[in-house]
Structure 1
């Protein structure tokens, strides 16, 4: 079935911006739901797209980055990732994020996934890349990443961490499991 041919069953009556900063815009909509009932719907619009990178060397190792995530109030391991302006090419952003967080550059790039991070409340779009044929240099951390930890480990161990619930970031989970499936790990 062609998804573009399916008619939107929701009716938007009005919308009001409730909050805005340089990263997000929150809008509350008055709606009629698919059954015709009145309700509200909140939408978080991201001003950036989500970018994630899984670097893999010739020995099957990858790199995770760890940092304290303010929204969760806990330390998290995840793949190198970040945001890119909506107008920026996702691959260019992936190259920048990998170098910024790990110091790694890659000669071979493969896009492994396009996704929406939480389509029930946001329109954020994400892109995941595999980076191979790696070269190593010095990272260039942003101000918010001053405490960033970088960890080299076997790709299989990172996938096992997902399966044990030790990695919960959506880009990391989707990226690592997708790559595991593609590489038949």
Structure 2
């Protein structure tokens, strides 16, 4: 997914930039419905020759921390293929190109945790593993929760748990 987010934070406006990388072209190594992997001969900021492989997800990653009135949060447990292990995580998913990430995360909260929320606050907008991928991830905190039906896709099997927020931070 291509995106431009070159706005400097206010605190960095008067700081100089380091020299940029220069791509000398690219070739597609893998192209799936979920990601594209590209290879780039490049020139590093130091002037050295480089060969870079970049994973380019086709979705914006989205996640939500559902905060209940009693101080618990809902987590989703599932086996993750890429990790080859079980993972407890916030409800998360992806927004395909053209879909508003906020609409996608609301959908994921219902599908995975069986919840809807009346209040939302944006919490994070990050470039993850930015030395090997251009993946963007956005996360929200949601509260004012109500139950709804879950709707996992054909590859998902979930467990859900409510955990005290303070226990997550311990």
Whether 1:11 and 2:22 are equivalent positions in the alignment is yes
Whole-angstrom CA distance in 2 between matches of 1:133 and 1:103: 14
Distance 1:90 1:3, change over 3 A: farther
Corresponding position of 1:151: 161
Distance 1:143 1:4, change over 3 A: farther
Corresponding position of 1:176: none
Alignment coverage as a number of residue pairs: 159
Offset at residue 123 of structure 1 (A): 0.7
Offset at residue 5 of structure 1 (A): 6.7
Whole-angstrom CA distance in 1 between matches of 2:44 and 2:80: 35
Distance 1:3 1:142, change over 3 A: farther
Whole-angstrom CA distance in 2 between matches of 1:62 and 1:121: 31
For the residue of structure 1 that corresponds to 2:155, the secondary structure is helix
- Where do residues 118-157 of structure 1 align in structure 2 (5 Å cutoff)? 118-145=129-156, 147-157=157-167
Whole-angstrom CA distance in 1 between matches of 2:14 and 2:36: 27
Stretches of structure 2 lacking an aligned partner (at least 5 in a row): 1-11
TM-score, with structure 1 as normaliser: 0.81
Whole-angstrom CA distance in 2 between matches of 1:27 and 1:3: 34
Offset at residue 89 of structure 1 (A): 1.3
For the residue of structure 2 that corresponds to 1:143, the secondary structure is coil
Q: Which runs of 4+ in 1 moved over 3 A?
A: none
Corresponding position of 1:163: none
Whether 1:32 and 2:43 are equivalent positions in the alignment is yes
Distance 1:60 1:126, change over 3 A: same
Say what the alpha-carbon RMSD is for the aligned residues.
1.7
Stretches of structure 1 lacking an aligned partner (at least 5 in a row): 161-185
1:96-131 deviations in Å (ceiling 9; x for gaps): 000000110000011111101111011111110011
